[in-house]
Amino acid sequence: MSARSRRTLSRFGLKSRIKDGGAAAADAEDASLDAAPSSADFGLEIGRGVDRLFAGGLYSPEELSGVRLPHAFRHGGGIDLIENGAACGIRTRTASESTSLDALIYAFHANEHGRAHANDRLRLAADAVLGGRRTRISVMHKRSECAVTLRRLDDPIDVPVWRAVALTLARRAGIETLDFTIRSAMGTAALLTDRFDRTIDSTTKLRTAPLLTLSAEALLPVKPLGRGFAAPRPGRLPYLALADILNRTGASPKTDLPAMWRRMAFSVMLGAKPKTSDWQFARTSLDALGWRLLPMHSISILPRDWATGSGATLDGRTPLETPEACIAYARYFAISMGEAKTAIFEMRRALADWERVALDFGADPREIDLMASVFEEG
């Protein structure tokens, strides 16, 4: 790794080192950081030495595509990786939503069915700049780079539609979200959401400039475990630990902590399954003293009868089953009890119109019946 890369990483309190064997990256599913292809794989050591290797069959090749095939200028996370004086990775322009979305959707579903031709696979590889099981494709929509969410074969509901419904209701409840839109193409819905790791380019005025981001998984404290580290228990996201990220290393905790509490209460109200990839933090030259919480860009919901419990907890053990349970801890998030109760009321008022919002997005009436438990039982 060149001196330029080391300077880029160290400027934000990160370290770099070479790992032998296996694709390596911090938080590969979120693609907050991408490893570069070379004779020796790069590993990124975050903060106090958190080093996660995603090898050994834990992730499928599709999930690791954003790590194994980074893009020189379009990869996730906003960190430059330089080898021999040149940016590592594929050098392709961002596909246009207006001209390429149909072809990308066709290639995506052909690949799911195992019938993708070489051209389809190359098209996906060129635009799969984000890691993760679901959202990997990035396209240019109007003046912003957007992440595309599509329905997978094994999805029990139309995930893009219901994610758009939840984000719309979150906005109405006073929660900041990234801009998004629904497109209908090839007989399916596609959710286009502004990439959380991009900001406005001062030269082009397009929302394409890389923004240094890390997910909650990379920033949550870890406990020593032999020679490795113990990550947060899967499906048990500790919200108090999320608050500690901002209390400990936040650039503006008085602003971001109340916003975090609102998102926590809203997610609990919907019974949403908490994922560390849904909580992204950014650091810019203006936020040199710490991390800022990024707006909501994703939320995972299923009918309550199908869910195995939201997995939302305060400390990794104590479950959060109702939004009222969040009120008792409001002061830890720099929000008063009165403000918390008002916020819960506003959220319930926003959810009252969920069915109309779902119809506006073209939700299937049968799915509306299934999803009633999500919006009416919280």
Determine the pLDDT at residue 190: 96
DSSP codes of every residue in 50-97:
B--B--TTSS-TTTTHHHHS-BTTT-TTS---EETTEE-SB--PPEEH
In terms of average pLDDT, the best of 63-77, 203-217, 291-305 is 291-305
- Give me 88's structure tokens: 């590592």
Determine the pLDDT at residue 51: 29
Q: What is the pLDDT confidence band of residue 47, given thresholds at 50, 70 and 90?
A: very low
Determine the pLDDT at residue 133: 65
* Cα–Cα dist 48/191, whole Å: 36
Tokens 């193409």 correspond to 185
Q: Is the pLDDT of residue 323 over 60?
A: yes
Q: What is the pLDDT confidence band of residue 42, given thresholds at 50, 70 and 90?
A: very low
What is the average pLDDT value for the chain, to the nearest integer? 76
* Cα–Cα dist 319/28, whole Å: 27
DSSP codes of every residue in 279-348:
-EEEE-GGGTTSBEEPPB-------TTT-S---EESSSSSB--STHHHHTTGGGGT--HHHHHHHHHHHH
List the chain domain ranges.
1-88, 95-194, 209-220+233-376
Determine the pLDDT at residue 8: 35
Determine the pLDDT at residue 235: 53
* Cα–Cα dist 172/163, whole Å: 14
Judged on CB neighbours under 10 Å (0-12, 13-18, 19+), 71 is buried
Bigger pLDDT: 27 vs 271? 271
Determine the pLDDT at residue 289: 77
Determine the pLDDT at residue 211: 86
Listed in sequence order, the DSSP H helices in 173-286 are 216-219, 239-249, 253-270
Q: What is the mean pLDDT of residues 130-138?
A: 72
- Give me 260's structure tokens: 């975090």
What amino acid is encoded at 39 in this protein? S
Q: Is the pLDDT of residue 20 over 50?
A: no
Q: Is the pLDDT of residue 193 over 90?
A: yes
Q: Is the pLDDT of residue 196 over 60?
A: yes
Determine the pLDDT at residue 306: 79
Q: Is the pLDDT of residue 359 over 80?
A: yes
Question: Which of 3-12, 188-197, 233-242 has the weakest average pLDDT?
Answer: 3-12
The predicted-structure confidence for 245-291, as pLDDT tens digits, reads as follows 999 999 999 999 999 999 999 999 999 887 888 899 998 777 667 89
